[in-house]
Chain A
Amino acid sequence: MAGVLNFGYIANLALGAYFYGVLTLGPSSGNGGFQTYIIGLHLPAALAIIVTALVGCAFGGLVGMIGVKRLRPDYQAIVLLVVAIVALTLVEADAGIFNGNAGLSLLPNPVGGTGPTSPNGWLYVAIVFAVCVVGYLILRRFSDGPLGRSLRAVRDDDRAALAIGKNVVGLRILVQVVGGGFAALSGALLAAFIGAWSPSGWQFAETLSLLTAIIVGGVASNPGVVAGALLVPVIFEQATQYVPGLSSRPQLAGDVGWMVTAVLTIVFIWWRPRGILPDRRPRYGPGARRWSRFSMAPLGLASAAADMRADGPVGDPGPARDPAVATELAGPALTVHVRDAPVTSGAAARAPLLAASGLAVHYGGVAALDAVSLEVTAGTVTGLIGPNGAGKSTFVNAVSGFTRPEAGRVKFNGTDITGLSPHRRARLGLVRTFQLSRQFGRLTAIENLLVARARHPAESAAGIVAGLPYWRRAEEENVARARALMATFEMSDKADEPAANLSGGERRMLELMRALMTDPMMLILDEPLAGLSPRWSGRFEDAVGLLRQQGLTFLLIEHELGIVERLCETVIVMARGQVLTTGTMSELRTQREVQAAYVVG
């Protein structure tokens, strides 16, 4: 039963755990079916159970809406807990429908009879088992594949997920809806099995035993949770066998069982926080059996990428590129799907792609941005330099939507995006990287790329319903493209490595690749070279140069001015929250003012 309770990945461990743990307290969930009993609608039990699950979905969604949208993450867990307790208390207090504290009894069983001793008991167990199997399969729709990958990405780093265009709030609410539904379903099944239900049946301890099952089995791992769910009650039973003097104090067995459960939880958190069957990530790298249709060799990339483009999978393929661009060095792997790519020659191309006007941000009385206005021309690499504390990172945050400016407007590609959330900006093609590179640590390197694919069909409603056949092709293209990118950056050997294990340089490259996977129109790179070795920064530089030739626009924040000089046509200097001057690097270098800003600060 508890296997069904797990919907896999907990976007936020505390939040998720509390939430569905508490939801299984049951009354709010389990009673959708029993209301009918009391009111006398006398719905067939199977129907009642389905209704219950839907009610659970709605409840989960509602709570998700209130709790997840509005509140700081560390308060979300508390609020979810509180909401569940309010529901429990309401049920306890309401004698009319839920029969209050006394609970409900003589609940009908879908196979007739009531209670565990009824003759059809075993049949019911079989039905429950079947429901579990079906539920498990449904859950895999959410927890495996591209959708599960996105949810895990949100769990690992919500800001990075926003930056690649994931609707973090939406995904979290989805988790609540699904989790609520399954929790309600299992509550209903359990109540129907026992044949009676009272609010006192599910308390802290019962919630904990669910958590224990999850922790022991392996957080975010479906098989792990099933294993945990099977093991924990067994341990519970075993522990109680060795308690002496049971005959005189039969009560003692249960108590010791609970104590053992508690100790077990602590032991696992202490020594093996990922459980006995940890979340295993699928392999996509060289040597992986799945998705092996596409060659990994850089030479083979051309055909794979060509296939990909011929199919026109993502967005508009954009106007034909200058064939000279696709140098033999880079190969088509570095081809980006620049949407509505501006023509790189002619007057039209000189229009600003990004225009910020009068942006102002204050931190505690200090002006981090003091009415900053600047423009980035389409198809160029624009440098943004300035001493520490000049406001460069604040500017990036304000433009990408991570900081709300107090004044000013941001226009991107002709659209006013001032009020848009970060993920919407990313979907419009304005994608940023972070100064301290962020990655989805528990996903593999290549999954970090795969997850960035914009509008993956597997994340649509149709994709969830139709399953693998619906999105297999898109995923194959996705995998091919990610492999090609990794091969181009000579990181194929790291493809199946968890991102958390990568070195600093590899993480930087991963972040750039991930940004490229979103089909951006413009990339904002916030100090991409910080901490990179010369080898990596050389590759990085070449990559930026090639991508620019293909029409991608860059705003490059960088301290390493040699690279700024080589890459950027235009360089903007910021100091003390203001734009100091603009020009080419060689012009700026001679300006005393700029030197002064740098050295004097």
Chain B
Amino acid sequence: MSSDKGADRPAGPALQCDRVVAGYGDAPVVREVSLTAAPGRVLCVVGPNGAGKSTLLRALLGLVRVRQGTVTLGGKDVTNKPLEELARSGIGYVPQGEDVFDTLRVTENLDMGGFILSRAERQARMDAVLDIFPALRRLTRRYAGTLSGGERKMVALARVLMSDPDVLLLDEPTAGLAAELTRMVLEEQVRLLAGLGKAVLLVEQKAEAALSVADDAAVLVNGQIALTGTGAEVLANEDVGEIFLGGAGRGKGWMQSMWAGSAGSAGTDGTVHSTGIA
């Protein structure tokens, strides 16, 4: 069934957000962000801590209210739709941290991933997914809460693949993973998802590793897109390291844009800090 599904839509729909403004309190955390996650490609959003990456993702998922702008899935408006309905229209989500059902066995986690499928579909899909992650076969009876970090992430990705979603949103899938595992998750697992024809939106703190597997990339600073390009372009941009470390050169310009953020205008060449007390 799932293979039919793929055949029906060779290209698959893209997830687009257009000038999205979202946030929790009085000040929006995400401001006028426009992005497109295209089928078969990995779109990587990087940025320093607190740039609004997670909030953007949660806004796309209907978990944080989108105040302005639209989110569309294959051209259909899905702005502020409840999460479960988004899931049913083909959006898969792997949250950061609590990404598996700890008190459920691995197979049960997969069953939940395929909740919207029929029983027969689910069985077929489970075989297919276990083929993608053969390492999970020997873990099927384990409770997900007892797994190691890398195994958990595999379960989380396998779970989200169960429903064969068209679009995948991954929130820092490598958080807390060691370097080798990070490489494994990004280079093997995330690439694999795009290889399956899915539109992957990857939000990452570990910019270098993430950008090296990304087709498209966007750098989010202070809730706004500061730079876009292909993954390779952004990676090759010498300033990226410095942007993250807040160094001199072009990075300083970025720094200023961060500073100026809430004031709404470009910074006054880094003198912000000398604002006097009293």
Contact, chains A and B (beta carbon distance below 8 A) = yes
Confirm or deny: A538 has a beta carbon within 8 angstroms of a beta carbon on chain B.
yes
Q: Which of B27, B244, B263, B274 contacts A598 (CB 8 A)?
A: B244
Would you give the 0/1 interface string for A290-316, flagging 1 where the beta carbon is closer than 8 Å to chain B?
A: 000000001000000000000000000
Confirm or deny: B255 has a beta carbon within 8 angstroms of a beta carbon on chain A.
yes
Q: Tell me if A534 and B263 are in contact (CB < 8 A).
A: yes
Q: Which of A329, A562, A589, A600 contacts B208 (CB 8 A)?
A: A600
A331 in contact with B278 given A503-B26, A601-B205, A601-B206 (CB within 8 Å)? yes
Residues of A within 8 A of B182 (CB): 600-601
Would you give the 0/1 interface string for B40-66, flagging 1 where the beta carbon is closer than 8 Å to chain A?
A: 000000001110000000000000000
Confirm or deny: A488 has a beta carbon within 8 angstroms of a beta carbon on chain B.
yes
Confirm or deny: A468 has a beta carbon within 8 angstroms of a beta carbon on chain B.
no
CB distance from B274 to the nearest CB of A (A): 7
Residues of B within 8 A of A560 (CB): 246
Confirm or deny: A539 has a beta carbon within 8 angstroms of a beta carbon on chain B.
yes
Confirm or deny: A190 has a beta carbon within 8 angstroms of a beta carbon on chain B.
no
Q: Which of B48, B172, B259, B272 contacts A559 (CB 8 A)?
A: B48
Most buried by A among B49, B242, B259, B273: B273
CB distance from B151 to the nearest CB of A (A): 11
Bound together, the chains give a CA A331 to CA B278 distance in angstroms of 9
Bound together, the chains give a CA A350 to CA B49 distance in angstroms of 33
Bound together, the chains give a CA A331 to CA B206 distance in angstroms of 44
CB under 8 Å from chain A, chain B span 174-189: 174-176, 178-179, 182
Q: Which of B25, B174, B263, B273 contacts A541 (CB 8 A)?
A: B273
Q: Which of B50, B205, B244 contacts A530 (CB 8 A)?
A: B50
CB distance from A528 to the nearest CB of B (A): 12
12 pairs, CB–CB < 8 Å, chain A vs chain B: A329-B277, A387-B206, A537-B272, A539-B275, A559-B48, A560-B246, A561-B246, A563-B273, A576-B178, A598-B241, A601-B204, A601-B207
Confirm or deny: A388 has a beta carbon within 8 angstroms of a beta carbon on chain B.
yes
A589 in contact with B247 given A365-B148, A535-B275, A538-B274 (CB within 8 Å)? yes
Q: Tell me if B246 and A388 are in contact (CB < 8 A).
A: no
Residues of B within 8 A of A503 (CB): 25-27
Q: Which of B175, B207, B260 contacts A534 (CB 8 A)?
A: B260
A600 in contact with B179 given A387-B205, A537-B272 (CB within 8 Å)? yes
Confirm or deny: B3 has a beta carbon within 8 angstroms of a beta carbon on chain A.
no
Most buried by B among A334, A366, A595, A600: A600
CB distance from A530 to the nearest CB of B (A): 5
A329 in contact with B178 given A387-B206, A531-B50, A598-B245 (CB within 8 Å)? no
Q: Which of B25, B208, B259 contacts A596 (CB 8 A)?
A: B208
Bound together, the chains give a CA A366 to CA B245 distance in angstroms of 26
Bound together, the chains give a CA A373 to CA B278 distance in angstroms of 39
With A534-B267, A538-B274 already in contact, 8 other A-B pairs whose C-beta atoms are closer than 8 Å: A389-B175, A534-B261, A535-B263, A537-B273, A538-B273, A542-B276, A565-B246, A594-B245
Confirm or deny: A348 has a beta carbon within 8 angstroms of a beta carbon on chain B.
no
Contact residues of A with B, CB < 8 Å? 298, 329-331, 334, 365-366, 387-389, 488-490, 503-504, 530-531, 533-535, 537-539, 541-543, 546, 559-563, 565-566, 576, 589, 594-596, 598-601
Would you give the 0/1 interface string for B141-179, flagging 1 where the beta carbon is closer than 8 Å to chain A?
A: 000000011000000000000000000000010111011
Q: Tell me if A559 and B176 are in contact (CB < 8 A).
A: no
Confirm or deny: B118 has a beta carbon within 8 angstroms of a beta carbon on chain A.
no
Residue of B nearest to A592 (CB): B241
Q: Tell me if B277 and A543 are in contact (CB < 8 A).
A: yes
The list of the 9 closest CB pairs from A to B, nearest first, reads A601-B206, A538-B275, A561-B246, A599-B208, A534-B272, A533-B262, A559-B49, A562-B246, A534-B259
Bound together, the chains give a CA A596 to CA B207 distance in angstroms of 10
B contacts with A, residue count (CB < 8 A) = 43
Most buried by B among A389, A531, A541: A389
CB distance from A593 to the nearest CB of B (A): 12
Residue of A nearest to B212 (CB): A600
Bound together, the chains give a CA A208 to CA B25 distance in angstroms of 36
Bound together, the chains give a CA A389 to CA B96 distance in angstroms of 12
CB under 8 Å from chain A, chain B span 219-278: 240-242, 244-247, 255, 259-263, 267, 270, 272-278
Q: Tell me if B241 and A488 are in contact (CB < 8 A).
A: no
Q: Tell me if A599 and B246 are in contact (CB < 8 A).
A: no
Confirm or deny: B209 has a beta carbon within 8 angstroms of a beta carbon on chain A.
yes
Bound together, the chains give a CA A543 to CA B174 distance in angstroms of 37
CB distance from A439 to the nearest CB of B (A): 14
Most buried by B among A533, A534, A535, A559: A534
Residue of A nearest to B260 (CB): A534
Residues of A within 8 A of B267 (CB): 534
Residue of B nearest to A385 (CB): B245
Bound together, the chains give a CA A387 to CA B179 distance in angstroms of 13
Residues of B within 8 A of A538 (CB): 272-275
CB distance from A186 to the nearest CB of B (A): 44
Residues of B within 8 A of A488 (CB): 277-278
Residues of A within 8 A of B26 (CB): 503
Would you give the 0/1 interface string for B191-218, flagging 1 where the beta carbon is closer than 8 Å to chain A?
A: 0000000000000111111000000000
Residues of B within 8 A of A330 (CB): 277-278
A599 in contact with B178 given A534-B263, A561-B246 (CB within 8 Å)? no
Residue of B nearest to A561 (CB): B246
Residues of A within 8 A of B260 (CB): 534
Q: Which of A389, A535, A541 contacts B176 (CB 8 A)?
A: A389
Q: Tell me if A561 and B245 are in contact (CB < 8 A).
A: yes
Bound together, the chains give a CA A246 to CA B27 distance in angstroms of 59
Residues of A within 8 A of B206 (CB): 387, 599-601
Residues of A within 8 A of B50 (CB): 530-531, 559
Residues of A within 8 A of B208 (CB): 596, 599-601
Residues of A within 8 A of B270 (CB): 562
Q: Which of B49, B148, B241, B277 contacts A595 (CB 8 A)?
A: B241
Residue of A nearest to B235 (CB): A599
Residues of B within 8 A of A334 (CB): 277
Bound together, the chains give a CA A527 to CA B231 distance in angstroms of 30
Bound together, the chains give a CA A221 to CA B148 distance in angstroms of 51
Bound together, the chains give a CA A503 to CA B172 distance in angstroms of 28
Residues of B within 8 A of A329 (CB): 276-278
Residue of A nearest to B46 (CB): A599
CB distance from A564 to the nearest CB of B (A): 8
Residues of A within 8 A of B49 (CB): 388, 530, 559
CB distance from A561 to the nearest CB of B (A): 4
